[in-house]
Amino acid sequence: MLKPRSPSFFQTFVSITSLLFMLFMTVYYFGEDSSSGPNQVALLLCAGLAALIGRYNGHQSKDIEQAIVRGISLTINAMLILLVVGALIGCWMLSGTVPMMIYAGLLLLHPEYFYLSCTLLCGAVALCVGSSWTVAATLGVAMLGVAEGFGLSPLITAGAIISGAYFGDKLSPMSDTTNLAAAVAGTDLFTHIRFMSLTSVPVFVCSAFVFWLLGRNSLDAGVVIDFQQLQQALQHNFTLAWYLLLPLLVILLLSVYRMPALPTLAIGVIAGAVLAVVVQQPFIQAQMPAELSAMDASVKILWQALFQGIQPETGSALLDSLLSRGGMKSMLNTIWLIICAMAFGAVMEQVGLLQKLLQLMLSMVTRSASLISATIATAFATNCIAADQYISLVLPGRMFSEQYQKHQLSPQHLSRALEDGGTVTSPLVPWNTCGAYMHGVLHVDPLQYAVYCFYNWLTPLVAILLLQFGVIKLPAVSHRV
């Protein structure tokens, strides 16, 4: 059997431009609904084009199909987590955990400092638990409810949540991506974290300052802040007490002690379900037909919360809109997007198109600064093409490692570049697993919130600018690759 040919530059160019063109067309024709089917079709069509290029170059169909299966299998854990997160949100809505978090936020947080507080709080919790996904699914959902109660922008709020969550995740020794980047580059974990903090901390401080300014300007612009009615509606419909926050505390403690995400979230679902049945009987009875017994009503609404969330009738349109979310069903579109994106990324990698793109970028590297900048750009491009955060760390890390040795750059230069370009930019790409997850949990389109994720897009930009202007000192070695 003949060895498959390497793809040409023209073939690589056609595959990438086809993806960009198709995704542009989905936004042009379908707008914010592009991730509800159009993007999936575009990704599958582009996967088909990449497969045809692969077949033309001598790749076997069965090998391409097996690559797709392997690629999708890498995200099975993420898809299971999405289903459990959907059940978690539905149960926590029913149990009063999220309503209690919203109520406490309305009491404790001030609208002028809300965006800043949101960023700092999500950053601190993510630093402790090492998971941006857990923070978004718990604190993030509640913060969006508080923002709506204050009359503040859900887009800016989503940007604040993601900025804080990814800052904390990036610098946490318990983060899987932080450990992965250090391992791929071959550096010590805490050396890697210290090295990242030199750019991450100043960028986060600048981002926090911008969120503070946005909070002040939102009040100056005359945003209507009438949240007393929402507080009264929460008190009228739910039994509110401090112990409703126990499921959140349980999840945070289990995360700190490094229990895997799936059982941690499942325990959170169970805790929410128990609280719902024990504490929120008046709310449950009000939502079910009068002829149902207390037990039947509890079983039916709890079952419903697990698979499609709750659709309450509280008498407050604002509260109804806040609570009508969650359930495994709400995550199916996100899972569909992940499957299609991973199929496309797997075909691109199997037929060599992704590797060809990375080689083209390496061919333009002549200086140490341009090597690090190329690593950051390549990690971001891999996020867009392979649609997975982990691949954006592993694949460029493997391909660039030898060049860092030739340029006499330390492994932590590589690990920081991978995180600057890969970890933090993943939620900005709608079809990436992280972007799809944030869309599914926060119900805000990544194309709309991305501009407000200041930490996420400023980090790679600032890192590249500091390199180009010589602020970050590098060895005075130059090699033609």
Question: Which tens digit of pLDDT belongs to each residue from 344-389?
Answer: 888 998 999 888 887 777 777 767 788 888 899 989 988 888 778 8
User: Residue 480 — pLDDT band, cuts 50, 70, 90?
Assistant: very low
Question: Which tens digit of pLDDT belongs to each residue from 423-464?
Answer: 999 999 988 889 989 998 898 999 899 999 999 999 999 998
Q: Return the higher-pLDDT residue of 217 and 191.
A: 191
The model's pTM: 0.83
Q: What is the pLDDT of residue 315?
A: 77
User: Residue 479 — pLDDT band, cuts 50, 70, 90?
Assistant: very low
Query: Mean pLDDT of all residues in the chain?
Result: 86
CB 360 within 8 A of CB 458: no
Gap between the Cα atoms of 41 and 374, Å rounded: 30
Q: What is the pLDDT of residue 473?
A: 63
Q: What is the pLDDT of residue 163?
A: 96
Gap between the Cα atoms of 403 and 405, Å rounded: 5
**409's torsion region: left (phi>0), alpha (psi -120 to 50) or beta?**
beta
User: Which 3-state string (H, E, C) describes the chain?
Assistant: CCCCCCCCHHHHHHHHHHHHHHHHHHHHHHHHHHHHCHHHHHHHHHHHHHHHHHHHCCCCHHHHHHHHHHHHHCCHHHHHHHHHHHHHHHHHHHHCHHHHHHHHHHHHCCHHHHHHHHHHHHHHHHHHHCCHHHHHHHHHHHHHHHHHHHCCCHHHHHHHHHHHHHHHHHHCCCCHHHHHHHHHHCCCHHHHHHHHHHHHHHHHHHHHHHHHHHHHHHHHCCCCCCCHHHHHHHHHHCCCCHHHHHHHHHHHHHHHCCCCHHHHHHHHHHHHHHHHHHHCHHHHHHHCCCCCCHHHHHHHHHHHHHHHCCCCCCCCHHHHHHHCCCCHHHHHHHHHHHHHHHHHHHHHHHCCHHHHHHHHHHCCCCEHHHHHHHHHHHHHHHHHHCCCHHHHHHHHHHHHHHHHHHCCCCHHHHHHHHHHHHHCCHHHCCCCHHHHHHHHHHCCCHHHHHHHCHHHHHHHHHHHHHHHCCCCCCCCCECCC
Choose the weakest-confidence range: 145-149, 215-219, 376-380, 415-419.
Answer: 215-219
